[in-house]
Amino acid sequence: MHVSLATSAAPGRDNEDFVAATADAIVLLDGTGPAPGQGSGCSHGVPWYVRSLGSVLLSELSQPSCPLPQILSRAIKHVTSLHDFTCDLSRPGTPGASVVMMRRTRDAVDFLVLADAVVVVDVGAPEPLVIRDGRPGPDGNGVTRLYRPEGGPPVAEHAAAGRGGAGTRTLVGRDRRVACTDPLAAERAVTGSVPLEQVTAVALLSDGVSRLVDRFGFASWRQLLALLGRHGAWEAIRQVRAAEQADPTGERWPRDAVHDDASVAYWEPE
């Protein structure tokens, strides 16, 4: 197989993303935490949280028969146990993360998406599958669309209208919109599977990279896959940074922050 990974912090701040891969799995996390000026009951910080959760997830993904929501639930529970006696995890601003996972099994590619990360799957059709969790919260009114790969089962996409701008996100302690302290968050994830024989490439994107398509409009999903296949993950981030710098005040593309952490993984089977 071929894997290309890249992650870049927003200028002037620590990277709160995580991306890593094994021979058969990829994990990408986009950290969330307190808003500027808001305190947190956790002394560890968002980078610690995403590294801890990401490492556990990657290890657990070696179990091909374990459902992905179960893996995520156990990982959240484990990381919570690492600091629930030393930190006040009930306070707003407790570290959490958007989660996207991919696992190749003998005959399929499994995926899980929680919150605002994105999976794009190339199945050789004119348009790739775009899998995202568009639900903004427990009472979100996401719209479910079904895509049917040629000769394959339908794949669900949850997409909500009016997605907000990228940037720092604030969450409430034990929030179920993201991976945080509550293992039940895993039950809200969008999950699915595509037959391995149909998959020619998969991209996992934080919203700091998906903005190249869904906010800036610089490329289509198909064009982004082609860019990643030809030039690798770092080229996508380079183009994101160029677009951000071309609109430093956010007038052309309104968003919460000029820059965001940006992470991407691109995978092709053998």
Domain count, the chain: 1
Residue with the two structure tokens 């296949």: 229
Q: Two tokens at 64?
A: 């091909």
CATH number at residue 20: 3.60.40.10
Domain interval for residue 66:
2-268
Provide the residue-wise pLDDT of the chain in tens; the chain has 270 residues: 799 999 999 988 899 999 999 999 999 999 998 776 677 888 888 999 999 999 999 999 998 899 999 999 999 999 999 998 999 888 888 999 999 999 999 999 999 999 989 999 999 999 999 998 865 433 333 333 334 333 444 444 433 333 333 333 333 334 458 999 999 999 999 999 999 999 999 999 999 999 999 999 999 999 999 999 999 999 999 999 999 998 888 878 877 777 889 999 999 997
**What are the residues whose beta carbons fall under 8 Å from the beta carbon of 189, sequence distance 6 or more?**
68, 69, 72, 99, 112, 113, 114, 133
Residues 159, 118 contacting (CB under 8 angstroms): no
Q: Which residues pair with 143 in a beta bridge?
A: 159
pLDDT at residue 176, rounded to an integer = 52
CA distance linking residue 228 with residue 237, whole number of Å? 10
Q: In sequence order, which residues have a C-beta less than 8 Å from that of residue 92 and are 6 or more positions away?
A: 34, 38, 40, 170, 171, 172, 173
